[in-house]
Amino acid sequence: MNEFKPLVFSGVQPTGNLHLGNYLGAIRKFVALQESHDCIYCVVDMHALTAQLVHDDLKEQTRSIAAAYIAAGIDAKKHIVFNQSQVSGHAELAWVFNCVARIGWMNRMTQFKDKAGKDAEKASLGLYAYPSLMASDILLYRATHVPVGDDQKQHLELTRDIAQKFNLDFAEKIRAVGKGVDIKVGDEPVHAYFPMVEPLIDGPAPRVMSLRDGTKKMSKSDPSDLSRINLMDDEDSIAKKVKKAKTDPDGLPSEVAGLAGRPEADNLVGIYAALSDKTKADILKEFGGQQFSAFKPALSELALTVLSPITSEMRRLMNDPGYIDDVLRDGASRARARADVTMREVRDIVGFLY
């Protein structure tokens, strides 16, 4: 049985500042995966229009995500780093997927419901179709593995549903074109054109929570800047935010079980563990019994040690926008070469003359 070639694809939307949660939850995973996989990392600027139509500085935001990728250690020569809108296949395949996906599937997307809020009638059609464009991002390269945060799990399930329906509905055409792969979905043999993508959700990265409320995710849309550590924060702000981070009155427990029901303590220990590549148990062995007044300075020092080489490299890159644009253009041309192969085959399968 032949298999799809393993390929990692992921994307980050260029809206708002990158923060520690994006770094630990996504970008650091992207960096690690380059050792074992062929990887494509995208700045999804077309998705950015779904949140807000007119941006003051979308180009600048796109550059800053690209700069973060590069500064964090993604090798844009060995792998591919580019912005979505430079490869028209994303939009073209998304159209086909809009015709594959069912309204009922889209209506189940919890992220749409959250983002559209009470007055969903006023949400854009783009926001509604967001997951279909995301499926197209991934499947345009027939990628097999997608590192994302667990809030994106439902979108990956939709991606699999779209791939599955495409594979089944077009089964005969896929056979005729001769570009399919025999895979098993559960126990069922399927002649597939698109792979069933696997989410890469776990790993060392924790879910990084808000510094003001350990039950909410760290988020760029939280109105309080104290809730997050931004990648571009200077030393003083990092120290201040960690110092002001919410905690409970108790000290640190010596066992992980002692973090139960203490979301803020759990979050800070989790962040320390992730930044130092250790387990929470290791950290509690070291700090168990101590007060947060002792732990917090150690945490902000560690955060600085890990982040400052990245932020200073990001700043350096941001001062050379021409260089970033060249990297993205080069990545886009390599991405386009692959995307064109898929789009030609998709046209053949669907029946578009070319």
Annotated catalytic residues are: 115, 217, 220
Applying CB under 6 A, the residues found at the interface with ligand TRP are 9-11, 13, 44, 47, 134, 137-138, 146, 148, 152, 155
Nearest to 263 by CA among 299, 227, 214, 216: 214
Cβ-closest position to ligand TRP: 11
Complex with ligand TRP: residue 134 or 181, whichever CB lies closer: 134
| Least distance in angstroms from the C-beta of 155 to ligand TRP | 6
What contacts 160, CB < 8 A, 6 or more positions away? 196, 197
| Least distance in angstroms from the C-beta of 144 to ligand TRP | 12
| Least distance in angstroms from the C-beta of 119 to ligand TRP | 22
How far is 181 from 218, CA to CA, in rounded Å?
40
- Give 322-330's long-range contacts (Cβ < 8 A, gap of 24+): 324/63, 324/66, 324/67, 324/70, 325/63, 327/66, 327/70, 327/76, 327/81, 328/43, 328/62, 328/66, 328/81, 328/82, 328/83, 328/86, 329/82, 329/86, 330/76
Complex with ligand TRP: residue 39 or 146, whichever CB lies closer: 146
Complex with ligand TRP: residue 6 or 309, whichever CB lies closer: 6
| Least distance in angstroms from the C-beta of 140 to ligand TRP | 10
Full 3-state SS string of 189-217: EEEECCCCCEEECCCCCCCCECCCCCCCE
Complex with ligand TRP: residue 13 or 247, whichever CB lies closer: 13
